[in-house]
Structure 1
Amino acid sequence: MTTDFWFPVQLSIMIATISTTVAFLIAVLVAYRLKSSSMRGKSVLEALFLLPLVLPPSVLGFLLLYIFGINSPVGKGIQFLIGETLLFTKLAAIIAAIIVTFPLMYQAAKAGFSSVNVDIEEAARVDGAGEWKVFLHISIPLAIKALLMGVILSFTRALGEFGATLMFAGNIPGKTQTISTAIYVAIESGENDLAWQYALISISLSFILLVLIKVMDRAS
């Protein structure tokens, strides 16, 4: 197997790692902030967070093209700052993966923090712990199981992302081609053996991660 063969695998893992990390940081902070919030419009905000789970990938891809396209204010601003468009780049693939993985990570973080005994957090505050100490030393450790499961599910989802990535980042061999888009091209080209090789790699990685979730669940 050549370097060209492994590029989509390496890129997919890199995209999944970065997007899951970003989604984790944002989702954990937002979920913790909203856990005890009674702000107006909270339900609407959470519905927006979960929207990528139910929207067709083509719609997500279209929205990303519209927001970051060369004719949009955001797209023009980015092009002015970095000297090139965001479209059809690795960063575009990462952004698409973040969008589709965030809902999973948010749901996991929300469930994890909801399971934390509020009395324990309040006791820590009474003893003089600041909000960040409560967050880092009480809430995170007690919700860690749900958070880790969210990370694994998000990573698996990012690893297999296809629709939004294809529309927003394209399928450029050696640049933006991921496992999913490589399978698509291989099938379109009649290279079924190549498609099977990539499919088996994707299935194996996803299966290992899902088994890890089961092991964690039994160990708890």
Structure 2
Amino acid sequence: MATIAELMRVLQFGDSLLPVGAFSFSNGLESAVQLGVVRDLDSLRDFVRAAVEQAATSDGVAVLSAFRAAAAGDAEGVDRADRAVFDRKLNEEMRTMTVRMGRKLAEMADRVIGPSAASAWLGRIRSGSAPGCLPVGQALVFSALGPSERDAFAVHQYGVAGMMVNASLRLMKIHYLDAQAILYEINADAEDAYDRVSGRSLDDMAAFSPVFDVLASLHVGAHVRMFMN
């Protein structure tokens, strides 16, 4: 069982208002709404669920791999997970989202937690030897704080869903309680997702999501944008 302090740290670093820039991104939802792919509660639920499932089998695997590498003091293993995430982002906007938020999280961890594996990783980001992707930052933070790899995975999955649901309130005419109901429903799948991917390696990372990639590429050239991504 987690201690009270460990539980509170999960709450702190899993907070959707954590100042790492999630408010600036929609994870492709803005283009989906503009083009009518997402138009009501049902299509919003399906879109967010698909994004969360893709996150589990790709970035979620990297979270677990980086967490284990950090626990073993394996900086090269951490950087391999970092590069694996970056190399699988096929469009500019998704790469921008993950590295901006990852760097901000590393800076926050260095200031709040103090010297840790996240601090060393921040140094490699600044030197250009590591890209600095958000899932790896989440793994390093939780490895330093004491909560489990399961907690790190949960925070990652919650972050993907929470970012998109929060963005939907600014993009669509929906009731905020309906948005929370969608988040509650989708989060119930996280345990099964962890069980499915916990034994996978970086070579098993996969995210076949052509619709997300097309929407993100269209968003780059959009003349009217509320979100960076």
With normalisation by structure 1, the TM-score equals 0.33
Question: More relative contact order in 1 or in 2 (CA 8 Å, sep 6+)?
Answer: 2
Q: Which has the larger radius of gyration?
A: 1
With normalisation by structure 2, the TM-score equals 0.33
